């Protein structure tokens, strides 16, 4: 999300009913004035839930300033101070731009999404006009599935990355077990049918 989109979100924009928190970004907050949906990782959910549980539905989630422009200016300043304290102030050669900025996180996301599911998917998720229609042709389940495949590449903490991998393996194991059970049932039914046919032929 763009920083202005993030800071304008309210609790009622968050859907907690899916396997990942789905955020609907209102059209009034987006650059292209088109509503879109995106997700946040299990890692981000871990830190968000204790905060958001205490909020009312109309409360701003990531800011206390209802003036979105001022909220963005404040966040840019806060990030600048944090970056300096963390000694991550390195700039590109012969350039005034920092290597780490609020926008660089968005660029990182776009690169990972593009490498995983293609450029069109990446552009749709970050809100570039012209790509959303194709994105929404995917049903809700397919959109979530694609995000979950992408999620390990967006996770910062190694423990969360491993947890996601374990959850994926457990899901695959459960699905494999279900396939084995279905095959066993089909085999049993097939044997019953063949036995019935044999009895009919012997009559």
Q: Verify that 143 and 193 share a domain, yes or no.
A: no
Strand partners, 38: 23
Q: Verify that 144 and 188 share a domain, yes or no.
A: no
Single residue among 118, 141, 156 that ends a domain in this structure: 156
Read off the pLDDT of each residue in 121-146 and give the average, rounded to a whole number: 88
Residue 18, domain extent: 3-156
Read off the pLDDT of each residue in 4-13 and give the average, rounded to a whole number: 96
147-187 pLDDT tens trace: 999 998 888 776 666 666 667 667 777 777 888 888 888 88
97-121 pLDDT tens trace: 899 998 899 999 999 999 999 999 9
Is residue 132 within a helix (H) or strand (E), and if so which, with residue range?
helix 132-135
Q: Verify that 138 and 173 share a domain, yes or no.
A: no
Q: Verify that 151 and 184 share a domain, yes or no.
A: no
- CB distance 67 to 20 below 8 Å: no
pLDDT band at residue 27 under the 50/70/90 scheme: very high
pLDDT band at residue 199 under the 50/70/90 scheme: confident
Domain count, the chain: 2
127: left (phi over 0), alpha (psi -120 to 50) or beta: left
Residue given tokens 């209102």 in the structure block: 26
Q: Verify that 59 and 109 share a domain, yes or no.
A: yes
User: Which of these ranges, 85-89, 123-127, 188-192, has the smallest mean pLDDT?
Assistant: 188-192
Name the pTM for this structure: 0.73
Residue (of 3, 2, 1, 13) closest to 59 by Cα position: 13
pLDDT at 200: 77
């Amino acid at each position: 999300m763009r920083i202005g989109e993030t800071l304008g979100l309210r609790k009622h924009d968050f859907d907690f009913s899916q396997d990942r928190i789905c955020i609907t970004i209102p059209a009034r907050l987006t650059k292209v004035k088109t509503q879109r949906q995106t997700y946040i990782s299990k890692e981000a959910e871990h830190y968000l839930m204790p905060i958001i549980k205490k909020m009312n539905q109309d409360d701003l989630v990531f800011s206390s300033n209802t003036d979105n422009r001022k909220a963005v200016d404040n966040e840019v300043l806060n990030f600048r101070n944090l970056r300096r304290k963390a000694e991550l102030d390195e700039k590109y050669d012969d350039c005034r731009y920092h290597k780490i900025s609020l926008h660089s996180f968005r660029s990182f996301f776009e690169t990972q999404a593009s490498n995983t599911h293609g450029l069109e998917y990446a552009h749709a998720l970050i809100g570039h006009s012209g790509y959303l229609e194709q994105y929404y042709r995917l049903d809700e389940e397919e959109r979530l599935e694609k995000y979950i495949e992408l999620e390990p590449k967006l996770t910062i903490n190694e423990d969360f990355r491993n947890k996601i991998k374990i959850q994926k393996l457990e899901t695959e194991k459960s699905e494999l077990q279900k396939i084995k059970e279905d095959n066993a049932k089909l085999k049993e039914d097939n044997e019953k049918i063949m036995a019935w046919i044999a009895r009919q032929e012997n009559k």
